[in-house]
Chains A and B, each alone.
Chain A
C-alpha cells in the first residue's frame, strides 16, 4: 500500500476485523485502548469466548498492563450493559454499540461478558515466548522437544565455551593453518551467529577456500551446530529456541497439519500487540497457525520499530502487512495537543522512515486545548539553531567540532530548561474537573540517544541546580556500589587482613575517612574487623539482606549518605546490589567466596549488560527532570520534551564489523567474513542504510513523546550530515527519499533560511530561533535549591491508609483457630446428631472472611483449609488450598487439579469439576440454567431439575450459607433458604447429596 492511498481508519463501532488485519497505530493513538475494545467486542458479540482469545504482546510488563486494561474494559462494559439505557449514551463507543440492540441481545452480551470475567484467568494474554512455551507443552509429541527441557535466559556462557573449544579445534590440529582470525574476533563471530542472529543466513558462502573469510564463515556455522548439539545434550533451551521449535512444529511436513489444527481449535481470535517489533520467526508462527484460518489482528506502528539491535525486523511487519486482508490505521492522537501535532507534521512532512511503506501520516488530535498553559503556545515545536560563531570549526565546510557543539547545545538546553521552569507554566488536566497545577521538573524530559549524552545533560543540569534523574539501562554492577560490595565481601572473607579492612573502611558503606583511620590507629581497624566477624555470622544466618541491614544500621548508612548531594543515588545502588546478591545467594546457595566470584563476573560484564533487573533503578521520586534514552522512552509521554542531540549521528567508526543485511528474497544475512572478505563493503553499506532508517524512526519516537511542547536543536557539526534530524529537514522531499548523507550548508544564513522555509509549511506550529552565540546573552542565575534540599533530613511520612485486610501469613496462623473450632463442632454434632445453623447467613457482598476464620475443606473430611481472603474470593479463585493436618489425613493438590488423599487408610482421588462462572462455586455438572442465564439471580441459583444436585451425589455436600463454603461470599449467593435446610457437611460416599430446596 503506498502513501498515496491512506488505508482505512479503524472504527471501533464498525464491523469487527476478520481474516488477517494489520492495524497501524501511530504514536499516542490508543493502541491498548483499541485492543481492549476489540477484545470486549469479540467476547460480547459471541465471536469467541475468553479462553478462545489469544492476546500476544512483547515484554512481560506490557503483558500485565494489557491484562489489567482488558479486564478493566470488560468490567466497565459489563457494568454498563446491566443498564442498557444509560449504556447507549456512553462516551465509550464500544459500550454504546454493545448496549444498542434488543433487550435479549443486550442481555446475552451481558451474560457473555459476565462469563468471561468469571473465567478471566483462562484468557491467554502472554508474551510471545510464554505463548510458545505453552504451545510446546500442549503439543506434546507433535513438537520436537524433550520433556523436561529447561529454559535458560542466558546462553552466553555456553556459547563462549563452545567458541573456545572450536577455536582450539580450528587452530590446534596438526597442520592447521596459522591463526587466521583472533580469539577476540572468534568470540564476536560466535556471538553474532548464535546469540544475536540465530536465524540469519551466514555470509559469505562464496569466499575462496581457506581464506580468513571462509574460515570465519565455517567457524560460525560450526559454532551454531555445536551449540545446538550441546543444548540438546544438556536439555536446555533459550528463548529463541521456543519460537523456532514452535515454528518447526507448525511447519513440519508430517505432523505440522496436526499441530496447526490443534492451535486453531484452541484459539478463534488472535490479537498481537507491538507487532512492529516482530521478527520473521514470530511472523512465521502466527502465519502458519492462524493466517487464512482464524481472525488475526496485528497491531503495531512500523514508525516505532526501533529494536533492530535486539533482533526485531520491521521487514517481517511489512511482509505481514502485504499478506493482510485488511489494513487500517488509528487516526486520532489522544496524547498530544493540536498545535504540537501540526508542528510535528510540519517537521516530518509525510516522511518515509527508512522504507517507502513506513510513512508518517497526519493524525487528528483527540483533545482540544493545550495541556501546558496558561496560554497555548502558537508554535509548540521550537527549533533552536546553533551558530558557528565562537566555536571550534573544522574542515572546508567550516563545521563545528562535534564535542564543542555538544557542549554548547547542552549549555543552551540548561538555559531553556531554566527559562521554562521560571515561566510558571501550568499543567491543565485532560479530564473534566481537574484543577490546573504548576509545571514541575518531573513534567520535563530530555531525550537522548546515548548514555554519554545522558551523562552530559545530567552534569549540565545538576551544575545549574536542577534535580535530575537518568533513566536508562546502565547496569548497577558498573557502579561504585558494586565495587564497594566487592570490598565488603573481601573484608568479610578475611577480616584478619588489615589492608582489606582499612580499604573497606574508606567506602561509603562504612564511611570512615583516611584521617579518621589514621587517628584511630590500630584500634579503629580492629574494631571494624570485629564488626566484620560479627557480620559474617549475620551473613551466614540471615543472608545478604540481613548483612546489609546490619551494616546499614550499625553504620547509620541512610542518615550518613542521604545528607550527601548524591545520597539517594548512593543508597539506591548499594541496596540494589545487595538485593541482587541476596537473590543469587538464595538461588545458587552461595557463600562468601561464591558471591565474590559471581559479583566480579557481573562487574566484568557490566558494560554490555542490558538485563532489566540489573539496570540502575531510579534513585528518587522527587520532582526531578528526567533524562531518558529514546529506547527507554517508548510508550511514555511527557508534557514538555527537549531533544537536544537529534543533529548528532550515532555510530560510525572503522572497526571491523559484522554487518547485517538482507538478501534478494528478504532473508536476514549476517556477514561474518571480516573486512577482507568478498562483499564486506556492500554488506556494511546495506547495514548503514538500514540503521539510517532506524535512526529516523528513533527521531519519530522521541518527537512523539511530547504532549504539549517540543524543543529541538540543530547544529552544523562534523557529525550532522548523517544525523536523522538533519536528513529530515534538509532533504528536498522526505516522503520520497532521504539520502544517507545530506550536505550541511556552508554558512549559518543558508541553514537558517532553509529551516525557516521548512517551518513555514502549511500546518505551521514550528518556530526557528538561533541559539545566542557562545558567551553572549546573560547567564541566568541558578535557581535556589528547592525546599527540603537544605541539608536537613527528616523521615518521610506514610500518608496513605494501610490495607489491613491484605496480608501474608503462615498456614499455621490461618488454621490455628480451626482446630479448636473443629473440636467444638464435633462435640456439637455428637450431641444433636446434626449441625444446625444458628447464625443468620452472612450478608454476601460485605462479609469477607477474615483471615483467621475457620472453614472445612469441602473435599476432605476434617481437613482444614485456608479461608479465602477478601482478595482471593474473586471469580478467579479456584480451589481452596489445603494441606495435611496429620499424617494419616492428607489432601494434596496435584498439578492436574485433581485432589488425592488418604482417609482412614484408603486413598481417594477426585477430579476437578465445573465451576460456576459467577461465584466460583464448584458443581458436579453444570446446572442447565447457568449458561443461558440472563438475569443476575439465575446465574448461580440452581433452579431446575436434576442438575441442581449440589454437589454430585458421590461427593460431599457443603454447608452453604453457613459461611463455611468459600463460594458463598460472592454477591450473587442466593438466600440461605434456597439451600438444603440440613446441610450435611461431610457426607460419605454412600450417602446421597441433598437436593436443592429451590426446585
Chain B
C-alpha cells in the first residue's frame, strides 16, 4: 500500500537508519553465503560508501560483520551442497492446485538464512513453502529451517519446522489457500504479528484474556515503539490507531473457518489459530 518512494540521497551518510543498516547487513550476508571472504566483503562495503567513513562506519560494519559471521557459522552444517530450486505442484481437495517453485533446498532442508530477526513473517513464509513442497513430494522428510538474528545480538535463532505428514500438509495448505481467496475479496483481521502473538499464547495453554494481551502488545503502538496498527494498509482499512476490538468485532463468513477452534470467543481468535496452530505444532526453536 505504501508508495513513498525513497528520494535518492547525495549526501555522505552520517547516521544510517535501521533500514539502511539492514540493507548493508543483508548484502554482506548474501556475499558471505556466496563464499566471498570476510575481509573482501569488508573492503567492498567500505568502498561502496553506504556507511559513514571510518572509523565511524567501521564500528557499524564490525557489528554487522559479527552478526553475519554467527549466521554463517550456525547455518554452515545445514548448507550441504549447492542450493536447489524445486518445482511445486500440489493437488488439493476440490481440484485446486498450488503451483510454483521453492528455492534454497539443501538436501532435506528448506533453508532460509536471513539478516532479519526471526519474526512471524519469516516463519510463516517458510511454513507455506514447506507445506507446498511436502504436499507435492512426500518422498523425503522435508524440514524448513529459518536461521536469523535473535532478540539479543549476536544470538542466532534457529527455527525448525516439520517434518509434517503429507495429509496434514495438504489440509493445512488447503486452509491457507481458502483464507487467501477470501483475503483477496475482503480484509482478514489477522495481522501477522498480532495473530501469531495470540495463537502462540493460546497454544501455550493461556486463557483467551491473556492471549489477547499478547496480541495487543503486537498490535497497538505505544510511545516507545510502533505496533502493527500504524502500518499504512492497516490504518486505511481498520482506521487510524484502531484498537484490537475492531479486529475482534469482525465476523467470519459462514464456512470460512470450518469447525476448528470452536472454543475461541472471537472469530479473530479462530482465524489466528486456524492459520498458526499447525505451524506452532510443527515448530521447534533454538537460540544459539
Q: Which residues of A contact B (CB under 8 A)?
A: 161, 164, 167-168, 171-172, 176, 178-179, 182-184, 486-487, 490, 499-500, 503, 506, 518, 597, 600
CB distance from B107 to the nearest CB of A (A): 39
Q: Is the CB of B55 within 8 A of A503?
A: no
Report the 6 A-B pairs with minimum CB-CB distance, sorted nearest first.
A183-B15, A164-B14, A172-B53, A171-B56, A183-B14, A490-B3
Q: Which of A161, A176, A486, A499 contacts B4 (CB 8 A)?
A: A486
Q: Is the CB of A172 within 8 A of B15?
A: no
User: A487 — which chain B residues lie within 8 A by C-beta?
Assistant: 3
Measured in the bound complex, the distance between the Cα atoms of B15 and A438 in whole Å is 60
Q: Which residue of A lies closest to B240 (CB)?
A: A480
Q: Is B236 an interface residue (CB 8 A)?
A: yes
Q: Is the CB of A184 within 8 A of B3?
A: no
Q: Is the CB of A178 within 8 A of B59?
A: yes
Q: Which residue of A lies closest to B2 (CB)?
A: A503
Q: Is B11 an interface residue (CB 8 A)?
A: yes
Measured in the bound complex, the distance between the Cα atoms of B3 and A518 in whole Å is 20
Q: Which of A168, A499, A503, A506 contacts B56 (CB 8 A)?
A: A168
Q: Is the CB of A167 within 8 A of B3?
A: no
CB distance from A173 to the nearest CB of B (A): 9
Q: Which residue of A lies closest to B11 (CB)?
A: A164
* Size of the chain B interface, CB-CB below 8 angstroms: 17
Q: Is B181 an interface residue (CB 8 A)?
A: no
CB distance from A212 to the nearest CB of B (A): 16
Measured in the bound complex, the distance between the Cα atoms of B7 and A499 in whole Å is 19
Sampled A-B contacts (9; CB under 8 Å): A167-B14, A178-B59, A179-B59, A183-B15, A500-B3, A503-B1, A503-B3, A518-B185, A597-B7
Measured in the bound complex, the distance between the Cα atoms of B232 and A499 in whole Å is 14
Q: Is the CB of B3 within 8 A of A600?
A: no
Task: Indicate the member of B5, B12, B54 with the most A CB atoms within 10 Å.
Answer: B5
User: A600 — which chain B residues lie within 8 A by C-beta?
Assistant: 4, 7
User: A500 — which chain B residues lie within 8 A by C-beta?
Assistant: 3
Measured in the bound complex, the distance between the Cα atoms of B171 and A95 in whole Å is 96
Measured in the bound complex, the distance between the Cα atoms of B11 and A486 in whole Å is 24
CB distance from B137 to the nearest CB of A (A): 35
CB distance from A750 to the nearest CB of B (A): 35
Q: Is B52 an interface residue (CB 8 A)?
A: yes
Measured in the bound complex, the distance between the Cα atoms of B2 and A500 in whole Å is 9
User: A499 — which chain B residues lie within 8 A by C-beta?
Assistant: 3
Q: Is the CB of B3 within 8 A of A172?
A: no
Measured in the bound complex, the distance between the Cα atoms of B53 and A161 in whole Å is 16
Q: Which of A164, A172, A490, A518 contacts B54 (CB 8 A)?
A: A172
CB distance from B54 to the nearest CB of A (A): 7
User: B56 — which chain A residues lie within 8 A by C-beta?
Assistant: 168, 171-172, 179
Q: Considering the complex, which residues of chain B in the window 46-65 have a beta carbon less than 8 Å from any beta carbon of chain A?
A: 52-56, 59
Measured in the bound complex, the distance between the Cα atoms of B12 and A518 in whole Å is 45
Q: Is the CB of B3 within 8 A of A168?
A: no
Q: Which residue of A lies closest to B57 (CB)?
A: A172
Chain A proximity mask over B14-41: 1 for CB below 8 Å, otherwise 0: 1100000000000000000000000000
Q: Which of B1, B4, B5, B52 contacts A168 (CB 8 A)?
A: B52
CB distance from B53 to the nearest CB of A (A): 5
Task: Indicate the member of B3, B11, B185 with the most A CB atoms within 10 Å.
Answer: B3
CB distance from A525 to the nearest CB of B (A): 15
Q: Which residue of B lies closest to A170 (CB)?
A: B56
CB distance from B102 to the nearest CB of A (A): 26
User: A597 — which chain B residues lie within 8 A by C-beta?
Assistant: 7
Measured in the bound complex, the distance between the Cα atoms of B44 and A68 in whole Å is 68
Measured in the bound complex, the distance between the Cα atoms of B56 and A168 in whole Å is 8
Q: Which residue of B lies closest to A183 (CB)?
A: B15
User: A490 — which chain B residues lie within 8 A by C-beta?
Assistant: 3, 5
CB distance from A190 to the nearest CB of B (A): 12
CB distance from A512 to the nearest CB of B (A): 13
Measured in the bound complex, the distance between the Cα atoms of B3 and A490 in whole Å is 8
Measured in the bound complex, the distance between the Cα atoms of B56 and A178 in whole Å is 8
Measured in the bound complex, the distance between the Cα atoms of B185 and A518 in whole Å is 8
Q: Is the CB of B14 within 8 A of A168?
A: yes
Measured in the bound complex, the distance between the Cα atoms of B52 and A323 in whole Å is 53
Measured in the bound complex, the distance between the Cα atoms of B52 and A171 in whole Å is 10
Q: Which residue of A lies closest to B6 (CB)?
A: A600
Task: Indicate the member of B4, B11, B53 with the most A CB atoms within 10 Å.
Answer: B4
Measured in the bound complex, the distance between the Cα atoms of B5 and A23 in whole Å is 57
Chain A proximity mask over B78-108: 1 for CB below 8 Å, otherwise 0: 0000000000000000000000000000000
Measured in the bound complex, the distance between the Cα atoms of B106 and A676 in whole Å is 53
Task: Indicate the member of A486, A500, A503, A518 with the most B CB atoms within 10 Å.
Answer: A503
User: B12 — which chain A residues lie within 8 A by C-beta?
Assistant: 164, 168
Measured in the bound complex, the distance between the Cα atoms of B59 and A184 in whole Å is 17
Task: Indicate the member of A164, A182, A490, A597 with the most B CB atoms within 10 Å.
Answer: A164
Measured in the bound complex, the distance between the Cα atoms of B11 and A129 in whole Å is 34
A184 and B15 in contact, given A490-B3, A597-B7 (Cβ under 8 angstroms) = yes
Measured in the bound complex, the distance between the Cα atoms of B16 and A257 in whole Å is 52
CB distance from A666 to the nearest CB of B (A): 37
CB distance from B246 to the nearest CB of A (A): 16
Given A167-B14, A179-B59, 20 further pairs, Cβ under 8 A:
A161-B11, A164-B12, A168-B12, A168-B14, A168-B56, A172-B53, A172-B55, A172-B56, A176-B55, A178-B55, A178-B59, A179-B56, A182-B15, A183-B14, A184-B15, A486-B4, A487-B3, A490-B3, A503-B1, A600-B7
Q: Which residue of A lies closest to B1 (CB)?
A: A503
Measured in the bound complex, the distance between the Cα atoms of B3 and A600 in whole Å is 12
CB distance from A676 to the nearest CB of B (A): 21
Q: Which residue of A lies closest to B187 (CB)?
A: A514
Q: Which residue of B lies closest to A487 (CB)?
A: B3
Measured in the bound complex, the distance between the Cα atoms of B3 and A487 in whole Å is 8
User: B15 — which chain A residues lie within 8 A by C-beta?
Assistant: 182-184
Q: Is the CB of A171 within 8 A of B3?
A: no
User: B3 — which chain A residues lie within 8 A by C-beta?
Assistant: 487, 490, 499-500, 503
User: B11 — which chain A residues lie within 8 A by C-beta?
Assistant: 161, 164
Q: Considering the complex, which residues of chain B in the window 173-211 have a beta carbon less than 8 Å from any beta carbon of chain A?
A: 185
User: B52 — which chain A residues lie within 8 A by C-beta?
Assistant: 168, 172
Measured in the bound complex, the distance between the Cα atoms of B11 and A161 in whole Å is 9
Measured in the bound complex, the distance between the Cα atoms of B17 and A183 in whole Å is 11
Measured in the bound complex, the distance between the Cα atoms of B4 and A487 in whole Å is 9
CB distance from A97 to the nearest CB of B (A): 61
User: A179 — which chain B residues lie within 8 A by C-beta?
Assistant: 56, 59
User: B185 — which chain A residues lie within 8 A by C-beta?
Assistant: 518
User: A171 — which chain B residues lie within 8 A by C-beta?
Assistant: 55-56
CB distance from B269 to the nearest CB of A (A): 25
Q: Is the CB of B236 within 8 A of A506?
A: yes
Measured in the bound complex, the distance between the Cα atoms of B232 and A486 in whole Å is 13
Measured in the bound complex, the distance between the Cα atoms of B4 and A600 in whole Å is 9
Measured in the bound complex, the distance between the Cα atoms of B14 and A184 in whole Å is 10
Measured in the bound complex, the distance between the Cα atoms of B239 and A535 in whole Å is 29
Q: Which residue of A lies closest to B14 (CB)?
A: A164
A168 and B55 in contact, given A503-B3, A597-B7, A600-B7 (Cβ under 8 angstroms) = no
Measured in the bound complex, the distance between the Cα atoms of B5 and A499 in whole Å is 13
Measured in the bound complex, the distance between the Cα atoms of B17 and A182 in whole Å is 13
Measured in the bound complex, the distance between the Cα atoms of B165 and A551 in whole Å is 57
CB distance from B5 to the nearest CB of A (A): 8
Measured in the bound complex, the distance between the Cα atoms of B10 and A164 in whole Å is 13
Measured in the bound complex, the distance between the Cα atoms of B13 and A167 in whole Å is 11
Measured in the bound complex, the distance between the Cα atoms of B14 and A167 in whole Å is 8
Q: Which residue of A lies closest to B56 (CB)?
A: A171
User: A182 — which chain B residues lie within 8 A by C-beta?
Assistant: 15
Measured in the bound complex, the distance between the Cα atoms of B16 and A184 in whole Å is 11
CB distance from A596 to the nearest CB of B (A): 8
Measured in the bound complex, the distance between the Cα atoms of B4 and A500 in whole Å is 10
CB distance from B123 to the nearest CB of A (A): 27
Measured in the bound complex, the distance between the Cα atoms of B54 and A19 in whole Å is 62
Measured in the bound complex, the distance between the Cα atoms of B282 and A673 in whole Å is 54
User: B59 — which chain A residues lie within 8 A by C-beta?
Assistant: 178-179
CB distance from B175 to the nearest CB of A (A): 24
Measured in the bound complex, the distance between the Cα atoms of B4 and A486 in whole Å is 8
Measured in the bound complex, the distance between the Cα atoms of B55 and A182 in whole Å is 14
Measured in the bound complex, the distance between the Cα atoms of B7 and A490 in whole Å is 13
